[in-house]
Amino acid sequence: MSHPPEFHLTFLGDVMLGRLIDQLLPHPLPPSPSTLPISTAITRSPSLTPYPLTAPFSTTLPLLLSSALLLLNLETAATTHPVPWPSKTFAYRTHPAHIAALAAAHVDYAGLANNHVLDFREPGLRETIAAVEGTGISYAGARQSVEEEWTPAVLRVPREEGSEGGDGPFFVHVWAATDHPSEWEDTGLVHMIDYTAATRARLKALLTAPRADAPPPDLVVFSVHWGPNYRWTPAAEVRGLARFLIDECGVDVVHGHSSHHVQGVKVYKRRLVLFGCGDFVDDYAVDGGWRNDLGAVWRVVVEGSKEDKGREGRGKGLVVKKLEVFPTAIRRFRAERLGPEEADHEWVTEKIRGLSGELGTTVEEGTGEEGQLVVNVNEA
């Protein structure tokens, strides 16, 4: 008797390739007045040297390359446009050529619904979209014109035609939205949400409507930049929206980010909510209490179904089986995988274990063979 196919869908939090990271990559833009010159950074840290496109992913790369799909939030505009959004404290951009770093890591999806995609105004957004499209990476959450409809990214599992055996292919629909900054709502170019009944009605209509332009989804992901920064427990309105997305919109995995640190995991009706995936790579100052330099690779294990589940408008189905969390640390502007013997590994695992427990989700005791936390979705 053959077993159903199993796939690893890997999620990352915020990937910020601007400022000093842009300066270290092969095609640096002129630094802004507020950016520390890279020469000064190298003087302070002689081990810091310009690095290749794969360097931001560092020792996590083998794990990322083993994924069936790799999804992340791109927390940077990719543009040469020099004029930032007015009165914005932090404006991030990287050279459009550096989107090739994502391609080198085999990124399948880059979320553009966040509070930095319009940092360099509409010309910067258009160039960012062109750069992402030019590398063959799918995206959602931003558009070049208000005439365009909001649509999901449609990802194929497995990626290559002819490699699915007799059970596939399967299709994953990824929607994206952000709840801030509110002043971008007037542009109509970033998919903005709030926590009102009107937004819930709009999301339900959007996510459940049959699509003639894509195969029906076997799995639905909602990637969302939400909630206040630096808060261990997700706000009540955030938790409520997560339940609504699963109950009323057919979402299987909620991919949350924005908090700048890891948050807990919630298993709800055999679906998965990652409230805050943390910062994966950036050049930010480190807060010793919140440990925004520590994050994770979040691997969701799904199983393909051979039978039609009878879900209207849905494919045969990919079923979420478990979550595996691999702790990481940002060191020298690179994301490095932590070993089980490191104190920071224990900090990440115990923090996620405790925060998830507060949300009613059980994390297995100890860690797996690869040093990962494990949440069995069918048992949590």
Does residue 52 contact residue 61 with C-beta atoms inside 8 Å?
no
Question: What pLDDT sits at residue 1?
Answer: 54
Q: Supply the pLDDT for residue 3.
A: 80
Q: Residue 228 corresponds to which amino acid?
A: P
pLDDT-derived band at 145 (thresholds 50, 70, 90) equals very high
The predicted structure's pLDDT at residue 164: 55
Query: Given a cut of 70, is residue 308 above it in pLDDT?
Result: no
Domain presence at residue 18: yes
Q: Under a CB-based contact definition with an 8 Å cutoff, are residues 94 and 76 in contact? A: yes
Residue 166 has pLDDT above 60, yes or no: no
Looking at the domain assignment, is residue 267 inside a domain? yes
Per-residue pLDDT reduced to its tens digit, 195-229: 999 999 999 999 999 999 999 999 999 999 999 99
For the residues 340-366, what does the mean pLDDT come to? Answer: 97
Model confidence, pTM: 0.96
Tally of domains in the chain: 1
Q: Residue 257's CB: how many other CB atoms inside 10 A? A: 29
pLDDT reported for residue 163: 60
Per the structure, the complete domain to which residue 258 belongs is given by 6-376
Task: Give one DSSP letter per residue of 296-343, joined into a string.
Answer: EEEEEEEEE-SS----TT--S-EEEEEEEEEEEEEETTEEEEPPTTSH
The answer to whether residue 1 is domain-embedded is no
The mean pLDDT of the chain is: 94
Structure tokens at 231: 């808060």
Kindly report the CATH number assigned to the domain that includes residue 195. Answer: 3.60.21
Closest by CA to 110, choosing from 161, 145, 155, is 155
Q: Quick check: is 63 in a domain?
A: yes
- What integer pLDDT is reported at residue 168 of this predicted model? 76
Q: Is the pLDDT of residue 4 over 90?
A: no
